[in-house]
Amino acid sequence: MPVSLQFIDNLVHVHLAPEQTNGRFGLVEMLGRADDAPPLHLHRRDDEGFHVVAGEVTLWIGDADPVVLTAGRSAVAPRGVPHTYRVTGGAPARWFVTATPGDFISLALAYGTPTDATELWAQPTAPPDAELLGRLADEHDIEILGPPGALPT
């Protein structure tokens, strides 16, 4: 049974933590509401894969044109390349994220709050703790480059 977390404004189901794969790989399922977007960031060690199963997610990866992922489409944000996403299309989305070797999943486990939720909840009552998130991101080899909505170009 996966561990479920409230991570920033997402519901995250951790299917494989890096500890389960000898630190080689991690896999999470994410649910995000329309317009959900994380801070602009880069991974120093992780290659991050995205596979959308419902809804629409637009990725901005480096200086490339945006990539619109709908159900069944995938993309990779390579390590060292600034990137972000936004849930587009006016509806919630569900997607899987792979992280190799898994620092992103370790960050989600460190920052997230365990939950029994299976669906997205009402908006969080408080904004994320930016100082704690920034410190934990740095500890997990992730560099936050800008606020949610900032693009890499």
pLDDT, tens digit (0-9, with 9 covering 90-100), for 102-119 = 999 999 999 999 998 888
Would you give the DSSP letter of residue 107?
H
d(CA 28, CA 150): 24
Residue 26: partners with Cβ closer than 8 Å, 6 or more residues away = 14, 16, 17, 18, 98, 99, 100, 101, 102, 104, 105, 106
Residue 27 pLDDT more than 70? yes
Average pLDDT over residues 67-86: 98
Say which residue the tokens 């995938």 belong to: 74
Q: What is the pLDDT of residue 112?
A: 93
Beta bridge partners of 10: 7, 32
Residue 126 pLDDT more than 70? no
